[in-house]
Structure 1
Amino acid sequence: MRPIIGITSYVLPATWGVWADLPSALVPHDYAEAVRLGGGRAVLLPPDDLDADVLERLDGLVLAGGPDLEPSLYGQETGRYTVTHPERDTAELLLLRAALDRDMPVLAVCRGMQLLTVAAGGALHQHLPDVLGHEKHRPGPGVYGSQSAGFAPGSRIATLMGDDTTINCFHHQGVADPGSLTVTGWAEDGLPEAVEDTRRRFVLGVQWHPEVSRDRRLFGALVAAATEGDP
């Protein structure tokens, strides 16, 4: 039986067929397909802040991308460019903390990496152009910024990426303080692009979007960790 990988989801108005602007739990299909190609079975997880009992039925967790985190979670006031969906923050922090307690394999993508950082006691830059002076991490609406990243020798992400270090980013926030996590990847401008929790068997955060390229290296590694046994 394939490992069951839960993917956190957006709640947004969606339109299909004769139905318009219905509140919907969704993620880009790239996430589910990347899990499938990596050898797992994808299950969608709508926001639910009552408990984390669903983890009893899962073997691994993907924290998907999406809107900005509520800045009060890391001790800041909301900036002018920050757009939040607090219901996701509450539900996903509950899931993430329970998954970490169980030593469940976690792959955190973009917003997911930022959530992982905040859960580890870290903090974020709320608008990178104000800090870095450029918009290479989010060149325009629906446009990924393609860059070459550097990785810490011997780290998990360096081993997984190998010689192909091209990353595709779409984010206007980034990690300012990794908290208890270890930064293992950087963009050309020095911004953290990968973090790891080396105390656990598989906890990896990436600021880019490996699901878009169906990257079997990262999703396959998550599924392999989930196959090793019950957390």
Structure 2
Amino acid sequence: MRVAVTMSAEHEDARYPYDFLRHNYIVYLQNLGFVPVLVPNGIQNPEDYLTSLGVEGLVLTGGGDVDPARYGQENTASNEISPMRDETEFRLMQCAVDRHFPVLAICRGMQFMNVFFGGSLIQDIPTQVNAALDHRTGTHSIHVLDSRIEQALGIRVWDVNTYHHQGVHTTTVAPGLDIFATTEDNIVEGILHPAYPIIGVQWHPERPSPSPEIDLQLIRSFLDKAFWK
């Protein structure tokens, strides 16, 4: 199965703008049996690009922040913004919804997924969330709220890695999306769409993980569409 994979953008301050993707995404997706197809930011007609390459799924990767203008806020703490990337990913998401492609959204990808469906973000968790955990580095526990996930995995609490300063709060989730995991400070760690095969995780399953077997089981259950049966 070929899957479209989005890329980070270094456009605003670079003398020679470029897109890039960390190699661990490629390794992880290939180990899952996928053929990754990289999507350049700013490509014309991304819908036709997916069709011409026989793509049947989408992975929204991490890196950088979503432009706050996308969710009706001024920029107070966002950085590494790329409007070009945001527009490319918006069109890819719309294409995935129209074609009922499975979508796996990772870290920033989950945040963008939430914005796409009408939610907003906390621009800087350390300064905007009371008693916030350290979400920038290390690991922390997540708590499953969705019985479908708990049944599929056979576990309710596990540890994940963490690499972000922005996030989705339980109060900023898009209408219609289901929260399936949170942290103790009410930052959302997992969301899914109840009608489409679209799931987002705030952590990085493709990076070294304290719970790699659980991460893999979650993604395989998603690929089997276990949460939509």
Q: The TM-score by the shorter chain falls in which range?
A: 0.7 to 0.9
* 1:60 shift after superposition: 1.1
Distance 1:24 1:217, change over 3 A: farther
Between Structure 1 and Structure 2, which shows a larger proportion of strand residues?
1
Q: Residue 207 of structure 2 aligns with which residue?
A: 212
Pairwise mapping of residues 19-168 of structure 1 onto structure 2 (< 5 A)? 23-51=17-45, 52-56=47-51, 57-133=54-130, 134=132, 136-138=134-136, 144-156=137-149, 159-160=152-153, 162=155, 165-168=158-161
Amino acid across the alignment from 2:32: G
2-structure distance, mates of 1:187, 1:24: 35
Q: Aligned with 1:36: secondary structure?
A: helix
Distance 1:125 1:91, change over 3 A: same
1-structure distance, mates of 2:68, 2:151: 30
Question: Which residues of structure 1 form unaligned runs of 5+?
Answer: 14-20, 139-143, 226-231
* 1:81 shift after superposition: 4.4
- More displaced 10-residue stretch of structure 1: 46-55 or 155-164: 155-164
2-structure distance, mates of 1:107, 1:55: 16
Amino acid across the alignment from 2:216: R
2-structure distance, mates of 1:77, 1:150: 31
Aligned partners of 2:180 and 2:191 also within 8 Å: yes
1-structure distance, mates of 2:150, 2:98: 22
Q: Residue 199 of structure 1 aligns with which residue?
A: 195
1-structure distance, mates of 2:83, 2:31: 31
Distance 1:188 1:164, change over 3 A: closer
Aligned partners of 1:35 and 1:220 also within 8 Å: no
* 1:223 shift after superposition: 4.9
* 1:24 shift after superposition: 3.4
* 1:164 shift after superposition: 6.7
TM-score normalised by the chain length of structure 1 = 0.82
* 1:50 shift after superposition: 2.5
Q: Aligned with 1:42: secondary structure?
A: strand
Question: Which residues of structure 2 form unaligned runs of 5+?
Answer: none
Distance 1:25 1:82, change over 3 A: closer
Aligned-residue RMSD, C-alpha: 2.3
Aligned partners of 1:183 and 1:195 also within 8 Å: yes
TM-score normalised by the chain length of structure 2 = 0.82
Distance 1:159 1:115, change over 3 A: same
Amino acid across the alignment from 2:7: S
Aligned partners of 2:58 and 2:104 also within 8 Å: yes
| Aligned residue-pair number | 210
